[in-house]
């Protein structure tokens, strides 16, 4: 079973970043952890945002404002892809009738 939330130490290890990087993304509202049992946890979608933000900043030289824009656009594209796939699924079902 896949866990839905990770601790900061796990995020750091998975994404290959420092704790300061994760905390800076939080401070800038690029990511949003949740609090459970007085512990800060990161949903998997937020871990993915950390990974992509690190890639954009460290490997492509994008600043934080650019990261926010790129992450927003990425989320919109993913949502559009899901909608497109749903339309294709419904169309396929209609054609089978």
- Which fold would CATH assign to domain 5-95? Multidrug-efflux Transporter Regulator; Chain: A; Domain 2 (1.10.1660)
CB 62 within 8 Å of CB 70: yes
- pLDDT tens digits, one per residue of 36-75: 999 999 999 999 999 999 999 999 999 999 999 999 999 9
Q: What is the pLDDT of residue 77?
A: 97
Q: Classify each residue of 5-23 as buried b or exposed e, where b means 16 or more C-beta atoms within 10 Å of its C-beta.
A: bbebeebbeebebeeebbe
Name the pTM for this structure.
Answer: 0.83
CA distance 44 to 4: 6
């Amino acid at each position: 079973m896949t866990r839905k939330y990770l601790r900061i130490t796990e995020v750091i290890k998975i994404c290959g970043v420092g704790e300061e990087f994760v905390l800076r993304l939080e401070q800038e509202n690029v990511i949003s952890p949740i609090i459970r049992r007085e512990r800060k946890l990161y949903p998997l979608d937020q871990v993915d945002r950390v990974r992509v933000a690190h890639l954009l900043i460290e490997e492509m030289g994008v600043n934080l404002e650019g990261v926010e824009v790129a992450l927003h656009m990425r989320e919109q594209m993913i949502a559009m892809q899901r909608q497109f796939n749903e339309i294709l699924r419904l169309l396929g079902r209609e054609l089978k009738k």
